Amino acid sequence: MVVRHNLHRNVRILLVGDRGVGKTSLILSLVSEEFPEDVPPKSEEITIPADVTPELVPTNIVDYSAVEQSDMQLVEEVQRANVICVVYSVDDDDTMDRVTSYWLPFLRETLTHTHRCPVVLVGNKVDLVDYSTVDAAMEIMNDYKEVESFVECSAKTLNNISEMFYYAQKAVLHPTGPLYITDKQDLTEPCKKALTRIFKICDLDNDGLLNDHELNYFQKRCFDTPLRPEAMDDIKALLKRNISGGVSNNNCITLSGFLFLHLLFLQRGRSHTTWAVLRSFGYNDHLRMDSNYLFPKLKVPYGCSTELSYRGQMFFLNLFERFDSDKDGALSPHEQEKLFSICPAPPWRSELKHIVPTNSQGWVTADGFLCFWVLTTLQDPNTTLEYLAHFGYVINENENQLSAVQVTREKSLDLLKKQSTRNVYECHVFGAKGVGKTTLCQGFIGRKHHTSESGSGDSLPTSTVNSVIIYGQEKFLVLKEMNVQNIHSLTEMDISCDVVCLVYDCTDPKSFSYVASLYKKYYVENQMPVLVVGNRGEEGEVAQDSRLQPSEFCDKHCLSPPHFFSHQPQRQKELFQKLATMAAFPRFHAAWMLFYRHTSHLKELGLLTGDSIMLKAGLGITLFAALGFIFVRLLNSSAHKR
């Protein structure tokens, strides 16, 4: 596993300070490992390769000389720097006074809020004195929070030279400022919030504790190595000695103990340890989730769609099971709140019960939870990628959320091959206003639609999604209600889908002409599967004010006969299975069209009359044999591909 130790490609260190404090000598002593006898006014910019630095990051060291550079050049260098070393001479009180009277105020004025730069305070020439300036330096650090660390060194004796530049690197790669409040000796609130989220992700059984298995899960994820049993015992013993309640009665680490461990790391100068943990879970230097971590690049070519992979489906189902603490098959408001406590906000609002299957109380079920993410991945894959990261799916740089999402092949290839390899299909439901489109879509998720729920019904979500079993395989069907009254204004996005459902009201004689006109305008020359649905069929069918009645229309255009939709569960199930099957097997639809074309020609020749019973029977046998052969080929092909 590759751990994200830092997000920087290089470190640029700038040394500033009064003349004669030894800035140039420090740089030259580091590079040559000996004190230079002849010191120039200014050192050239030094580049240290990544492989010789402790953090394996290329480092540029830049000198400043008041003799050779103007104030404007100094400002430019300050704004380019990643970290600034303010150097003073420990044997010259004036140079130290200038740190607070000039240099630190100057840096504050020069640096903008968009470019905050950590500062390392450097006391040079310790070889000339027998005392330390550490107390004065600590006062400066308390007054100027941008000062990350302090080091005393000597360019002449090489004392602490490499440590000085290591502290400078560390101030950039592992800054303590965002994590630790020096005067309060406590973690910052953003740091506590981030570490609390990490604790909850690693608390795999949701009991508010980290047991040995969960602690090792955390350790392997962040550092690619498990803890030795004796090391685990040492950690617990340390917590028991230093904080009450850091270890539970059953010998597990509590949240307060977990936070205290990181407080100790920071107080002991091990900010790199806490940053390794934070960056393993996607946090940047500002303790916000990094956008590259949340949104890895996903390429979706034109005509393709996005689905959850098997791993993605299993992750969401396991996540649901983990937070369904009472095992009732639904997420209560309390369970839902606990689930999304590791996210910025829930991805849905109260209308979820009108989109996916829920229980009688409106709580999302396991099927509904998976269906929501299936729909989100289809319509907005970036949101799925984001929440996968928030939920802790991301493991390392080499395997991110993209393994939970798959991109399908182009839909035109599905139509060409007359077979779909996808698992999620989109059905656009068209019909005139008031024909019952909303009732049909809500029936798909087991809800009886009442107009009083949404006034006119227009405010309900337009999409519903549920799973459908097709020949033993689970597929997902998305019904999208298309409320377009002017059929001449449809866009390519409105028209394009996997299967079209044209709804009319059997009791309204004016309702069929809408879908008939829409079909003739957009789908008559299209290979897309189309199903005509008559709503309220149980109330009786009246003649439609149309040149052709629905059955005649379907017969003429080689469509399947109208499907009459009612409130009977079995009839509803048949409709949704038929729509999903037509989407999954366009070849079946093509076979129906071929059969209807042939029978139409025979009718014109007078061969299909009431007296031609044997011919009808023969054609029927031929049709079913052909369809049977097609389905065997399809199922064998699908099984072979899997």
The confidence score (pLDDT) of residue 2 equals: 36
Q: Residue 374 pLDDT > 50, yes or no?
A: yes
In the chain, the percentage of residues whose pLDDT exceeds 90 is 68
> The CATH number of the domain where 329 resides is what?
1.10.238.10
CA 639 to chain CA mean position, Å: 31
- Structure confidence by residue, pLDDT tens digits, 390-407: 999 976 666 789 999 999
Please list, residue by residue across 483-505, b when 16 or more beta carbons sit within 10 angstroms of its beta carbon and e when fewer do.
eeeebeebeeeebebbbbbbbbb
45 and 58 assigned to the same domain: yes
- Report the pLDDT averaged over residues 187-200: 97
- How many angstroms separate the CA atoms of 106 and 628, rounded? 84
Cβ atoms of 226 and 219 closer than 8 Å: yes
The confidence score (pLDDT) of residue 209 equals: 97
H or E element in which residue 311 lies:
helix 310-323
163 and 200 assigned to the same domain: no
**Is 162 contained in some domain?**
yes
- Report the pLDDT averaged over residues 220-240: 92
- How many angstroms separate the CA atoms of 303 and 307, rounded? 14
Residue that terminates a domain, selected from 260, 289, 318: 289
628 and 543 assigned to the same domain: no
**Is 3 contained in some domain?**
no
- How many angstroms separate the CA atoms of 195 and 256, rounded? 11
- Structure confidence by residue, pLDDT tens digits, 125-164: 999 999 999 999 989 988 898 898 899 999 999 999 999 9
Which of 293, 67, 94, 97 is CA-nearest to residue 194?
293
Q: Residue 69 pLDDT > 70, yes or no?
A: yes
156 and 227 assigned to the same domain: no
Q: Which domain holds residue 108?
A: 11-174
Label residue 17 exposed, middle or buried (CB < 10 Å: 0-12, 13-18, 19+): buried
- Report the pLDDT averaged over residues 228-252: 94
- 195 Cβ contact partners less than 8 Å away, ≥ 6 residues apart: 187, 258, 259, 262, 274, 277, 278
- Structure confidence by residue, pLDDT tens digits, 315-337: 999 999 999 999 999 999 999 99
CA 615 to chain CA mean position, Å: 59
Average per-residue pLDDT in the chain? 87
**Is 4 contained in some domain?**
no
- Report the pLDDT averaged over residues 221-233: 90
606 and 586 assigned to the same domain: no
The confidence score (pLDDT) of residue 4 equals: 44
- How many angstroms separate the CA atoms of 429 and 146, rounded? 60
Residue that terminates a domain, selected from 141, 174, 207: 174
**Is 521 contained in some domain?**
yes
116 and 138 assigned to the same domain: yes
Q: Which residue has the tokens 């420990």?
A: 90
Q: Residue 419 pLDDT > 90, yes or no?
A: no
549 and 577 assigned to the same domain: yes
556 and 435 assigned to the same domain: yes
The confidence score (pLDDT) of residue 621 equals: 41
- Structure confidence by residue, pLDDT tens digits, 446-474: 988 654 344 444 478 899 999 999 988 99
**Is 2 contained in some domain?**
no
- 341 Cβ contact partners less than 8 Å away, ≥ 6 residues apart: 200
Cβ atoms of 344 and 390 closer than 8 Å: yes
Residue that terminates a domain, selected from 133, 157, 174: 174
Q: How many domains, the chain? A: 5
Q: Which residue has the tokens 């000389």?
A: 65
The confidence score (pLDDT) of residue 598 equals: 52
The confidence score (pLDDT) of residue 568 equals: 78
Q: Residue 357 pLDDT > 60, yes or no?
A: yes
